Amino acid sequence: MSTVKIIKSDERLILEIGDTKFYYKRITTDHANAIRKRCTVRGEMDGGKAGLEILKGFLLDWDDVRDWDDNEVPFTKENIALIPDAVLADIITAISSADGVVAETVAEAVAKTGKDKAEKNS
């Protein structure tokens, strides 16, 4: 069993997916609560909106993200939306590890988005 570590304000963790590295900081419960509040309408949290807010606030940088021509893609808030949904879900889960409710709701929203896209394309 590993030791529990607090979330530092200058935290910079790494999630490696293949040769790509995503740098992030975990979300605190206070930030998660604020995002839940902003993204809840009529008692239901919009997981997609919450996920995007989490990514734009807590994903710090990346190394070795490439386009189809093998050119490096710079880290920008706009380019975050170009990352495949399954990868975004992994990043959000890592960021939200301090708050399981946000991670679960966002994971459900990403799964639904993927299902909706598949149905639309069939």
| Cβ partners under 8 Å of residue 59, min gap 6 | 22, 23, 24, 80, 91, 95
Contact 39, 45 (CB under 8 A): yes
pLDDT tens over the chain, length 122 residues: 567 777 777 878 889 999 999 999 888 888 888 888 888 888 887 878 888 888 988 999 999 999 999 999 999 999 998 999 889 888 888 888 755 555 555 556 556 655 555 555 55
Q: Write out the residue range of the structural domain in which residue 53 sits.
A: 16-121
Task: Look at residue 5 and tell me if it is in a domain.
Answer: no
Position 110 in a domain: yes
pTM of the model: 0.72
- Burial 89-99, CB ≥16 within 10 A → b, else e: bbbbbbbbebb
Counting the structural domains of the chain, the total is 1
Phi, psi angle pair for 17, to nearest 5°: -130, 105
**Residues 32 and 98: beta-carbon distance below 8 Å:** yes
Does some domain include residue 76? yes
Whether 100 is covered by a domain: the verdict is: yes
